Structures are given as C-alpha cells and as structure tokens.
Homo-oligomer: A and B are copies of this chain.
Amino acid sequence: MTTGVWLIGARGSVAVTSMVGATALRAGLAEPLGCVTELPELAGPALPGLAELAFGGHDISDITLEKKVENLVAAGVLPARPAAAVADQLAGLQRELRPVPSAETQLEVARLIAQDIDDFRRRRGLERVVVVNVSSTEPIFPAGPEHETLAALETALATGGQVLPPSSLYAYAAFTAGCSYVDFTPSTGARLPALRELADREGLPYAGHDGKTGETLVKSVLAPMFAMRHLRVRTWSGTNLLGGGDGANLADPAANAAKATSKQRVLAETLGYQPQGTSHIEYVDDIGDFKTAWDLITFSGFLGTQMRMEFSWHGCDSALAAPLVLDLARLTAAAHAAGRGGALTDLAFFFKDPIGEVPHALAEQWAALVGFVRGLHAPA
C-alpha cells in the first residue's frame, strides 16, 4: 500500500526537509523524533508506514534539491550526516518534481496540475495521493459570490482572470484528481464553500490550516493553564524574529496579516476573552530558519495581584514542521482509505487555525486526535 505525497512548494524548506527526513528515517539513520504518529498512542496498522510514502510536487522555483539541501545543512536545519547519507537519492526525488503549468484560464491550469498528479500516481502505482500545500503564504484573499457554489466557481474559472489564489486552485485540482488535501499554510486553500462542495461530492477529506510549530504551540498549553487556574491574562504580546524563505515572504504586510490572525486565535478561544497585545512578526535574514519568539504575559491573580511570565523559544521552523507534514499525510491518507470525507476537524492538534468549532487547548486536541486514530485502527 504505497501512498503518494504531492507537495505544493516542493523545493521549499519544509518540503525538502520532509522528503530528506523521510528518506533518512527509512534508512534507519535517525529516530523518528517530532513524528507524532510514531508515538505508541497513535501508531497502528491503519497508517501507511513512513517507508511507504512516495514524494512528488510542484514548485515555481527551479533550485535543485542538491543546492537546497546544501543550504539547509549550512543553516543547521538538516544535520550533515543524514543529509550526506541520502545524497544519492536526491536525483530520484527530483525527477518527481514538476514546474507549475501555465495556460489561458485557471480551469485549464487546474486540469494540467491534476494531470501531473495523476501521472505521478500511475507511474508510481500509488493507491492514493495526498496533496499538501507547503508553498509560500499568500496575501489575504477576498472571497466573492463566484466562490459560493461549485457551479459558479467553474463558470468563473473558465473565463480567465485570477478567480482563485494558487492555494485554492491547487485544492480544486487535488479534488478533481480524487486526492485529499492538507493546507499547512495560512493561505485560503480549501476554505471556500465551492471547494467544500466539491470535496463533499467526491467524498474526499481535507485538513488545515497553518501548521502549529512554535509560539502558538506553546500558547495552546499555557493559555489553558491560566484558564484552569482562573488567572486573568491581561497582556499577551509576542515578537517573532525569523529569516528563511518564509520569513522574507512574511515581511510583506499582507501575508503577515494572515499569519498574525492565525496566531492570536488560540487566546480568545481558550481564555474566553481577548487579552491586550499582538503577535508581531519581523524578518531578520541572519536568524534564518531558527526562529526566535519572545512572549510577555501579564496576569492578575488573587485579589488582583499582578504577575508576569516571559518565554523565549528558539525553534528550527522546518525541523518542527517537516515531521508534522509526514504525520498529516499519513493521517489524511488513512482517513481517505477509511472512507472519511469532508473536513478532518479531529486533526486540529496540528494547526494554528483549525477548521471547525474545535477546542484550541492542546490537551483536548490530543484527546480528539487519539480518538480519531483509534477509530481508524479499529477493525470496521
């Protein structure tokens, strides 16, 4: 049972770390740290093995995987040893990467994207393919009446013009190709009614949005702690310094806006009110992939006594994201195999901005995830 993972943004840091990492793990070169689906609570027969994943994808960049791996090693994201050990497999991985097709209308582009994915499936004899969006974060996209129904959408797509942002066009193409779809970014992706109609019609699962890897992960356990202790959070103010590919892109205020919104949602949802403060993102080239986040939290306790907490987090963004990409691919493929269509709200554990009315406290998300996976493993 081989499962395909088709990565949008396949030459980016997260995608390449995922592919190289899966290759190194398959070769037994490292423990599967960071892979949630390798924990005893989640492992089991329903999930495709790490060794059974086949990778391909689209990217607008033509940087070679050799060069990208070299950069990731220099930046300390990929350790030198496993990277060297898989060097001879990079050419094979690279053969499965495709440039983004272009055409007169977005409908035609979507058809070509779907065809690339379908070719991959046939060529590699895959049972199913999960499309995972790990491409650059897009500016916030305004939805209109043409995104309300599938019929309206397909009419619009056929006329030319930019009807869908890239993330959503990939989602459309994925669904028409019979694939499930995971949005690891804060971009629009499958979030439009017309696309959900399509996924539902086809019985295809989808998950998102925006992988939860750093500051928000910490928030998702600290905010519930304050709530459970009846401590009133007054200020929660965060600064995120990051470089790397996505950092440069997030320096654009439009893309930044989408991300900053994702990052604060957890507070209002777990505290029941919105404390003061914002989540500030700043691009610092020198920091590279080793993001530094600093958060200040001020809170009131018994009789109004003022207290405070600070944390700083020095995480390697791609090293935190890559194993989650593998987890999400395995879980979504298993859901697809089990006939689960529609929004996979039980995967909220993985996302900053999860789909649906779901808990935002990490422990509750974990409980939902464990229940979901047990359901998959259980004999029908």
Contacts and interface: CB of A to CB of B under 8 A. Distances in A.
B21 A303 contact: yes
Given A33-B301, A241-B235, A303-B21, A225 B362 contact: yes
A237 B284 contact: yes
A314 B320 contact: no
Work out how many copies of this chain go into the complex: 4
A281 to B, nearest CB: 10
Contacts of A24: 303
A103 interface: no
A310 interface: yes
Contacts of A79: 303-305
Interface string A314-332: 1110011011000000000
Contact of A363 (B217, B224, B237, B296): B224
B296 A285 contact: no
B307 A310 contact: no
Interface in A265-297: 276-278, 280, 282, 284-287, 292, 294, 296
B241 A296 contact: yes
A83 to B, nearest CB: 8
Nearest to A212: B229
Interface of A: 17, 21, 24, 29-36, 38-39, 76-80, 82, 217-218, 220-222, 224-225, 228-232, 234-235, 237, 239, 241, 276-278, 280, 282, 284-287, 292, 294, 296, 298, 300-305, 307-316, 319-320, 322-323, 349, 361-364, 366
